[in-house]
């Protein structure tokens, strides 16, 4: 029980216009940095994956290579094949051998991606070059390597079809995520030759990913800062009102929220509440340590949507304020945080198709054999944005990280991973130079990994800025805890998503 609650009220008046036509992504580079696009619903877009997961339910997720290709073709490995229009959104590999660095047979085998039935590949490069920063089209940190994984989020759109081939038969562990669009409108097939507009968009995306908080602060139109003062007596529901200059009749995009003037313990004890006037009863109520990615008090890190820089905690998940909105913070005695909100005015005629931001917190304390830890169960229409997973088990190796993620969408298992650390773009936990300590990159990371007393802790995040996962009717995301879902550990998770 908190000894005081302090609230900040922020009201915006606006009109509502009829819903605009449904928006769909196209695999454009703008989708990697334009925050106003992220909340927009994408009906009819279908997300799927190819991966080397063990079809028997065991842990042979690439060790033997048995499930590491769809088929052999002319002595090479076909690892993905799909019909369009669509877009590859993520490619992940890890070292092919646990004690040797490198991919495949370490012979500079090429990846070849054939689009729209053409005999000449649109991309034909040594696989490692996708991740080493040597290609203009695949710059860091949109693509890279580290924490045991090799990853690329550079979109590869296509109109009619796509086939991904790897030289030779040395493919082991891999994941490839893609989406299929309901129409080809606006889709421009991938080419290694960048237009001037694409070069500019790629530069903008690199800026956004390299310093997320600074980028958000530079691209807002309005800023509101409010210091929440504790008053003796522990009175509840004390409200402090503030408005940006003037009143606006158009919706606002909340670009982000920062909190400062707090101790780590106050963040651990605090709660953030965002109340929306309509629909009635809709509110986000989230422990601060989860909303800002601070479970177990990690060192500073800069994720795409949350983290800490110096004494500033931030969450820059964008969301639309369509009605009056109240921001509240709750905390212990002498709680005096500084709340800063970054906002942009948006066009209501084209933004009525935005979903509302939702979060879902789940806990398995502890996990139970054969039962997935639930990350998200939701109905209706929306898309998935991010995962924050906090785990704690007995002192020793975190064998629970052998568990696969599973995504059942609209009644169909569409995404199946190859291991928990693989979902977080890492690999080979507990090995020197791989996932063997805390590490964080913009799109993913393990800000907590290591022994604490008699416990082993691992807390990780992954953001789906480049690869949101849409659902039209329902979604169920769960993760195994250990090989064949048998390991016992304490699990907590926070899922960020948008819902109609």
CA distance 146 to 441: 8
Do you find a cis peptide bond into 366, omega within 30 degrees of 0? Answer: yes
Condensed to tens digits (0 to 9), the pLDDT of residues 128-185 reads 999 999 999 999 999 999 999 999 999 999 999 999 999 999 999 999 999 999 999 9
CA distance 230 to 289: 20
What is the model's pLDDT at position 224?
81
What is the model's pLDDT at position 192?
97
Spans of all domains in the chain = 4-20+213-345
Strand order in the sheet with 474-479: 373-379, 474-479, 405-409, 412-416
Burial class for 329, CB neighbours closer than 10 Å (0-12, 13-18, 19+) = buried
Give the residue-averaged pLDDT of 100-122: 97
CA distance 8 to 6: 7
Report the share of the chain in percent with pLDDT over 70: 89
CA distance 430 to 450: 9
Whether pLDDT at 322 is above 90: no
Q: Which residues of 442-481 are buried (b: 16+ CB within 10 A; e: fewer)?
A: bbbbbbbbeeeeeebbbbbbbbbbbbbbbbbeebbbbbbb
What is the model's pLDDT at position 235?
33
What is the model's pLDDT at position 281?
67
Whether pLDDT at 70 is above 70: yes
CA distance 404 to 418: 5
Class of domain 4-20+213-345: mainly beta
Q: Name the band, by pLDDT with cuts 50, 70 and 90, for residue 348.
A: low
> What is the token pair recorded at 68?
């590491």
- Evaluate whether 391 touches 446 at the Cβ level (below 8 Å): no
Give the residue-averaged pLDDT of 380-387: 98
Which is more confident, 484 or 408?
408
Do you find a cis peptide bond into 491, omega within 30 degrees of 0? Answer: no
What is the model's pLDDT at position 234?
41
What is the model's pLDDT at position 426?
97
Whether pLDDT at 240 is above 60: no
């Amino acid at each position: 029980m908190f000894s005081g609650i302090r609230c900040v009220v922020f009201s915006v008046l606006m009109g509502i216009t009829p819903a605009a036509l449904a928006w769909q992504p196209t695999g454009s580079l703008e989708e990697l940095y334009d925050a106003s696009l992220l909340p927009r619903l994408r009906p009819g877009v279908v997300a799927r994956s190819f991966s080397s997961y063990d079809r028997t339910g065991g842990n042979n997720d690439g060790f033997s290579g048995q499930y590491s290709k769809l088929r052999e073709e002319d002595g090479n490995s076909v690892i993905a094949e799909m019909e369009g229009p669509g877009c590859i959104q993520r490619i992940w590999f890890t070292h092919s051998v646990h004690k040797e660095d490198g991919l495949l047979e370490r012979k500079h085998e090429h990846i070849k991606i054939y689009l729209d039935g053409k005999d000449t590949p649109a991309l034909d490069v040594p696989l490692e070059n996708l991740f080493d920063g040597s290609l203009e089209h695949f710059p860091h940190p949109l693509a890279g390597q580290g924490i045991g994984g090799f990853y690329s989020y550079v979109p590869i759109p296509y109109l009619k079809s796509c086939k991904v081939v790897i030289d030779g038969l040395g493919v082991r562990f891999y994941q490839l995520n893609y989406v299929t669009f309901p129409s080809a409108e606006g889709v421009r097939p991938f080419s290694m030759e960048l237009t001037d507009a694409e070069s500019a968009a790629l530069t903008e995306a690199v800026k956004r990913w390299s310093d997320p908080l600074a980028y958000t602060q530079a691209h807002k139109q309005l800023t509101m800062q409010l210091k929440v003062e504790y008053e003796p007596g522990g009175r509840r529901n004390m409200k402090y009102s503030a408005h940006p200059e003037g009143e606006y009749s158009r919706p606002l995009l909340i670009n982000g929220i920062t909190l400062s003037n707090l101790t780590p313990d106050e963040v651990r004890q605090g709660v953030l509440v965002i109340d929306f006037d309509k629909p009635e009863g809709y509110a986000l109520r989230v422990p601060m340590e989860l909303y800002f990615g601070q479970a177990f008090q990690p060192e500073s890190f800069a994720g795409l949507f949350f983290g800490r820089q110096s004494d500033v905690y931030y969450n820059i998940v964008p969301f639309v304020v369509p009605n009056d909105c109240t921001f509240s913070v709750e905390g212990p005695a002498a709680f005096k945080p500084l709340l800063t909100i970054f906002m942009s005015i948006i066009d209501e005629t084209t933004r009525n198709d935005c979903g509302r931001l939702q979060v879902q917190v789940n806990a398995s304390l502890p996990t139970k054999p054969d039962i997935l830890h639930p990350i998200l169960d939701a109905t209706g229409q929306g898309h998935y944005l991010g995962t924050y997973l906090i785990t704690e088990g007995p002192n020793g190796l975190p064998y629970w990280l052998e568990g696969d993620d599973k995504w059942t969408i609209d009644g169909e298992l569409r995404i199946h991973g190859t291991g928990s650390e693989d979902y977080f773009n890492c690999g080979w936990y507990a090995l020197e130079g791989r996932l063997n300590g805390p590490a964080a990159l913009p799109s993913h990371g393990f800000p907590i990994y290591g022994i604490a007393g008699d416990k082993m802790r691992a807390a990780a995040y992954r953001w789906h800025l480049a690869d949101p996962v849409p659902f039209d009717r329902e979604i169920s995301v769960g993760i195994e805890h250990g090989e064949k879902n048998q390991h016992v550990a304490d699990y907590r998770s926070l899922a960020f998503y948008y819902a109609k």
